[in-house]
């Protein structure tokens, strides 16, 4: 059932039934309308909803509670009904945990869960307070427009703010405000890292660059992404830099873990 433009669109975990202003009944989650669509898909991207796993395709719908997973050298860019953009990098897993779009002021809620990997989030036309991002050990409140979240193999959460600001709340207690050009981290135990916010580390910048590079190199990027990323030659170089930064970080972690052996 398709609703008229301007009516509240609500899809949430607590939903059983709701009545729209026109008197029609909101569909149940299993009958829900899409909450957005895949604008770009690079290589291996799969979605799982209602226990059904399927490939995510360009212009294909995405749904409430859908889990999106990317493989090696893969990426996706999803645009939601409220114009929020969610881009994911390689080996990442995100869940559209909640999506409530109210065309008027207030009432909306969007929660994205990043279980592993890297994602870039650009908020849409709803108020900033509508949006939040959850990781295994942190909750990110949005007070701006554009940021990158990384959950590494150790489950450390890193947030790099490109524009605007966020609030980073650690599961173990403590909250941090992070502005544009700065980064914040929560360790695997759910505690804020000392000395935060700080300048972003090289791997955080590299992860953000790699998403842009993959989407643009694919030849599917829109003009805004292409203009930001530069020409294909530069993108290839940035992609190599991102891979080198990840390898250096992994080597450093391995050395620390064995006491320099």
∠ CA(228), CA(91), CA(189), 5° rounding?
Answer: 105
CB neighbours of residue 113 within 10 Å: 18
Cα–Cα distance measured from residue 138 to residue 183, given in angstroms and rounded to the nearest whole number: 14
Contact in structure between 182 and 199 (CB atoms under 8 Å):
yes
Is the pLDDT higher at 135 or at 242?
135
pLDDT at 217: 73
Q: Which of 14-23, 139-148, 175-184 has the highest mean pLDDT?
A: 175-184
- Tell me how far apart the 2 most distant CA atoms of the chain are, in Å: 69
> What pLDDT digit, counting tens, does each position of 95-150 carry?
999 999 886 666 689 999 999 999 999 999 999 889 999 999 999 999 878 999 99
CB neighbours of residue 90 within 10 Å: 22
Contact in structure between 75 and 87 (CB atoms under 8 Å):
yes
Dihedral sign computed on CA atoms, order 230, 236, 237, 241: positive
Length, in residues, of the chain: 261
β-partners of residue 19 are: 25
Rg (CA), the chain: 19
Dihedral sign computed on CA atoms, order 221, 224, 228, 233: positive
> What pLDDT digit, counting tens, does each position of 118-129 carry?
999 999 999 988
pLDDT score of 18 more than 70: no
pLDDT score of 227 more than 70: no
Q: In whole angstroms, how far apart are CA 164 and each of 161, 181, 206, 218, 225?
A: 7, 9, 20, 28, 19
∠ CA(78), CA(205), CA(137), 5° rounding?
Answer: 70
- pTM of the complete model: 0.74
């Amino acid at each position: 059932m398709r609703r008229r433009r301007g009516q509240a669109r609500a899809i949430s975990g607590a939903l059983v039934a709701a009545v729209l202003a026109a008197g029609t009944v909101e569909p149940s989650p299993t009958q829900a309308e899409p909450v957005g669509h895949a604008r770009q898909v690079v290589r291996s991207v799969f979605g799982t909803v209602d226990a059904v796993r399927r490939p995510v395709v360009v212009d294909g719908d995405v749904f409430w509670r859908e889990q999106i997973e990317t493989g090696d050298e893969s990426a996706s860019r999803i645009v939601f009904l409220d114009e929020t953009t969610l881009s994911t990098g390689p080996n990442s897993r995100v869940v559209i945990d909640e999506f409530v779009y109210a065309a008027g002021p207030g009432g909306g809620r969007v929660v994205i869960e990043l279980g592993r990997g890297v994602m870039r989030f650009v908020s849409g036309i709803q108020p900033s307070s509508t949006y939040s991002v959850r990781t295994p050990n942190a909750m990110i409140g949005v007070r701006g427009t554009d940021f990158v979240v990384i959950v590494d193999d150790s489950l450390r959460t890193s947030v790099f703010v490109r524009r605007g600001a966020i609030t980073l709340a650690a599961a173990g207690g403590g909250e941090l405000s992070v502005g544009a050009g700065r980064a914040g981290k929560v360790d695997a135990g759910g505690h804020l890292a000392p000395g935060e916010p700080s300048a972003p580390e090289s791997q955080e910048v590299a992860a953000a660059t790699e998403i842009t590079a993959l989407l643009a190199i694919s030849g599917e990027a829109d003009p805004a992404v292409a203009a930001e990323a530069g020409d294909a030659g530069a993108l290839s170089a940035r992609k190599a830099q991102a891979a080198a930064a990840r390898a250096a970080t992994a080597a450093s972690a391995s050395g620390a873990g064995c006491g320099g052996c």
